[in-house]
Amino acid sequence: MTIPLPLLHTFAVVARCTSMKTAAKQLGVTPGAISQRVRALEDWAGQRMFDRARSGVSLTGAGRSLFARIDEPFRAIESAQKRSTRAGRVKRLVVNAAPSFAATWLVPRLGGFAAAHPDIEIVVESDTRLVDLRSEPVDLAIRHGLGRYPGLKSIWLMAPRLVVVASPRLIRASEPIRTPADCLKYPLLQDSGRHDWPLWFAAHDIDAKDADRGPAFSDDHLLVRAAATGQGLALVRDIYLDEEVEAGRLVSPLDIRWPTEFAYYLVGTRASFARPAARRFADWLVHESHVTEG
């Protein structure tokens, strides 16, 4: 099985730097992204490539063997990329987004951006933590919230709606759902903060004291998977549902769509938004999100 080239390149840079933090600065990504790539490489290879210590990392025997084979070819590639960048042919933009949003909404659309803007190279990082856009090597982030980020500029993208979904097998095997109150007869799958179900019931004037019961999931994609396997009812943002609904793995037993309080925003420093590449990406993203909303 072939190891993906980005993982090999990251490995080569970490091996040269003997530090994941230093490698992250060179590659223009976060240390967390570097750590994830190294783990993924070691999973692919089936063995450890680095020994970790507080002072940094050092190559194992397997790591030294791999580094000896790939370092020179990657140096040649890097040299060619630098010449291309200096010539102004390629501009690089690092975008951070939550894993569920990146996998389900952003990445499937990026081919259109690449075709329209071949001179801009988009690097997508998916992370559940909030990156510091002032100090980390990330140009823009897509965040879900109220759009209030002190010291940063934000652009409204879309406000997905919450939809009740479940596996069709679960619905067939249990009592019918005709009203919002009927959802209380089922297991409830929760978002990480256990906020969505209580707010949803309250919006429908239902006193549901145990609306926060049930397993919770840190990511919407995980919530969708749990619902598709019949573990309970889930409240999910509609932008994550198309594939599962079209495949018949999820159904919506209620024809009720309740707008969420929060929205998705493109966030960055004013300096980042001043870059032509960032402005073009922002214009494209706003257009794509408005097509989705429509």
| Residue 17: predicted pLDDT | 93
**Mean pLDDT (the chain, rounded):** 86
Residue 222 and residue 279 in one domain: no
Residue 142 and residue 278 in one domain: yes
pLDDT score of 156 more than 90:
yes
Residue 112 and residue 236 in one domain: no
Residue 105 and residue 191 in one domain: no
281: containing domain: 91-153+267-293
* Cα(142)–Cα(97) distance, integer angstroms: 5
pLDDT score of 267 more than 80:
yes
Residue 44 and residue 133 in one domain: no
pLDDT score of 194 more than 80:
yes
pLDDT band at 258 (very low <50, low <70, confident <90, very high): low
Cα-Cα end-to-end distance for the chain: 42
Domain boundary among the residues 33, 52, 86 is at 86
* Cα(64)–Cα(184) distance, integer angstroms: 58
pLDDT tens-place string over residues 19-48: 998 988 888 778 888 888 898 888 888 899
Is beta strand 216-217 parallel, antiparallel or unpaired with respect to 91-97? unpaired
pTM score of the predicted model: 0.57
pLDDT tens-place string over residues 4-21: 677 888 999 999 999 998
pLDDT tens-place string over residues 35-93: 888 988 888 888 999 999 888 899 999 999 999 988 888 888 777 666 655 545 558 89
* Cα(271)–Cα(127) distance, integer angstroms: 23
Residue 248 and residue 196 in one domain: yes
pLDDT score of 209 more than 90:
no
pLDDT band at 294 (very low <50, low <70, confident <90, very high): low
Residue 255 and residue 272 in one domain: no
Number of domains in the chain: 3
pLDDT tens-place string over residues 272-288: 999 999 999 999 999 99
Task: Say which CATH number the domain at 126 has.
Answer: 3.40.190.10
pLDDT score of 193 more than 90:
no
Range from 84-93, 94-103, 144-153, 186-195 that averages highest in pLDDT = 186-195
Kindly write down the DSSP assignment for every residue of 132-173, as one continuous string: -TTTSS-SEEEEEE-S--TTSEEEEEE-PEEEEEB-HHHHHH
Helix axes 5-17, 31-45, angle to 10 degrees: 110
For residues 241 and 223, is the Cβ–Cβ distance under 8 A? no
Residue 80 and residue 95 in one domain: no
Tell how many helices (H) and how many strands (E) occur in the chain.
Answer: 12, 12
* Mean local confidence (pLDDT), 143-170: 89
pLDDT tens-place string over residues 216-256: 998 888 899 999 999 999 998 887 787 888 889 999 999 87
Task: Say which CATH number the domain at 15 has.
Answer: 1.10.10.10
For residues 143 and 265, is the Cβ–Cβ distance under 8 A? yes
pLDDT tens-place string over residues 167-192: 999 999 888 999 999 999 999 999 88
Residue 41 and residue 70 in one domain: yes
- Spatial CB neighbours of 5, under 8 Å, sequence gap ≥ 6: none
Residue 39 and residue 102 in one domain: no
pLDDT tens-place string over residues 133-143: 887 888 999 99
